[in-house]
């Protein structure tokens, strides 16, 4: 049984398969400096993703080989449906967007400014207000994590540059 599992792992490694979430940035682009302007939650989540992937980071932009700028995060929500009997919100849609760009140490653009957007829906239950409030906070954190993950995956495209 162990031999079959080992063989399976070797086959997956040989074909270039990587688990979702695994991040591999070439040494030539490390350390990475992450700057944030009006996007602290996404930047924090991105730094955690880089740390989890053992990507070197620096707090000094002059020591960085790669500068990742995250800015202008906007969070919007809108009502999707309202109860016909109580006139209370039944469903909301949350939209979070952020802009980012990637530069090398000399300030040359490696990835021009891009905007990422993610959306989630949340059903409301007037009988469980406290639980829905906590669920809303989890949803907002999940939006930040998804944006950070999307930015981190863009870093992997830098393999072909330089």
Instruction: List, for residues 43-89, the tens digit of each pLDDT value.
Output: 999 999 999 989 999 999 899 999 999 999 999 988 877 777 777 77
Q: What ranges do the domains of the chain cover?
A: 25-160
Higher-pLDDT residue of 125 and 119 is: 119
Could you tell me the CATH superfamily of domain 25-160? Lipoprotein like domain (3.30.160.150)
Q: Two tokens at 148?
A: 């950070």
Higher-pLDDT residue of 127 and 79 is: 79
Position 119 pLDDT exceeds 70: yes
According to the model, what pLDDT value does residue 50 have? 92
Position 12 pLDDT exceeds 80: no
Q: Two tokens at 3?
A: 């031999």
Position 145 pLDDT exceeds 70: yes
Mean pLDDT, the chain, integer = 81
Q: Two tokens at 36?
A: 């944030």
Position 18 pLDDT exceeds 50: no
Position 111 pLDDT exceeds 70: yes
Out of 102-106, 134-138, 150-154, least confident range:
134-138
Position 149 pLDDT exceeds 80: yes
- CA R_g for the chain: 20
131 vs 147: CA distance, rounded Å: 25
Task: State what percent of residues in the chain have pLDDT above 90.
Answer: 46
**Contact criterion met (CB below 8 Å) for 52 and 46:** no
In angstroms, the Cα distances linking 159 to 55, 81, 115, 126 are 14, 45, 21, 50
Position 116 pLDDT exceeds 80: yes
């Amino acid at each position: 049984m162990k031999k079959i599992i080992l063989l399976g792992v070797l086959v997956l490694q040989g074909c270039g398969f990587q688990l979702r979430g695994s991040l591999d940035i070439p040494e030539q682009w490390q350390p990475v400096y992450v700057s944030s302007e009006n996007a602290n939650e996404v930047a924090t989540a991105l730094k955690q993703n880089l740390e989890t992937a053992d990507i070197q980071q620096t707090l000094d932009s002059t020591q960085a080989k790669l500068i990742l700028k995250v800015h202008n995060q906007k969070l919007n929500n809108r009502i999707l449906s309202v109860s016909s009997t109580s006139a209370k919100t039944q469903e909301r849609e949350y939209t979070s967007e952020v802009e980012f760009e990637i530069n090398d140490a000399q300030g040359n653009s490696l990835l021009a400014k891009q905007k990422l957007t993610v959306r989630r829906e949340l059903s409301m239950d007037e009988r469980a207000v406290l639980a829905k409030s906590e669920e809303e906070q989890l949803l907002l954190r999940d939006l930040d994590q998804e944006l950070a993950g999307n930015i981190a995956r863009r870093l992997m495209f830098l393999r072909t540059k330089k």
